[in-house]
Amino acid sequence: MVTSTVDKTVFRASCPRCRASFELAADAFLLKIGATVATTSYSFTCPDCGEPVRKPAGERIVELLTGGGVRVLRLQAVAEG
């Protein structure tokens, strides 16, 4: 999934809408880490059709993305409700 080059890390991704497959730089992604795996996801915008894509991020994906310099947004845990 990860391809390292001299200058930057890019990640392979695909769009569920137009089925395009492409490589995006780390800064094209946003990783949201929630209290559980169910609320942890990463998102990016398809360069082909502009679809905002959001996918679940397991532990391994989180490691890869954070290691590649992707921005991380830590969601606050909901303690009450």
The phi, psi pair for 26, rounded to 5°, reads -55, -35
Q: Which of 51, 66, 71, 72 binds Zn ion (CB under 5 A)?
A: 51
Of 37 and 49, CB closest to Zn ion: 49
Q: Give yes or no for residue 75 binding Zn ion (CB under 5 A).
A: no
Tell me which residues in 3-42 interact with Zn ion (CB under 5 A). Answer: 15, 17-18, 20
For 28, half-sphere exposure in the C-beta direction (CA atoms, 13 angstrom radius) is 17
Q: Give yes or no for residue 55 binding Zn ion (CB under 5 A).
A: no
